[in-house]
Amino acid sequence: MRFLNFMLTDNQGDAAYMEATAYAIPNTAALPLVSKGIQDILPTNPALLGKVFIKNDAWWAANLDKTVQRFKEWQLAG
């Protein structure tokens, strides 16, 4: 639990992680510590709203079987 707490609350470490990977993390308090160039490409950037893909796990859980079946049918038809 201490490790999880560290991962979610160490602003300097979280900012360094985002700088190194360009991956956003849940600790939004670290965002002001990230360079503008990295902030601009993170999916948390408000300017990217509607332009990034957000996976809907609930939809996939409800539709996985029939979606896989249709995909296989499409592959075989080609």
Give per-residue burial for 25-36: e unless 16+ CB within 10 Å, then b.
Answer: bebeebbebbee
Instruction: Give the residue-averaged pLDDT of 67-72.
Output: 96
pTM of the model: 0.60
**pLDDT computed for residue 30 by the predictor:** 94
Asked if residue 47 lies in contact with residue 63, where contact means CB atoms within 8 angstroms, the answer is no
pLDDT band at 57 (very low <50, low <70, confident <90, very high): very high
Which of 4-8, 25-29, 63-67 holds the top average pLDDT? Answer: 63-67
pLDDT confidence tier of residue 54, bands split at 50, 70 and 90: confident
Can you give the pLDDT at residue 28?
87
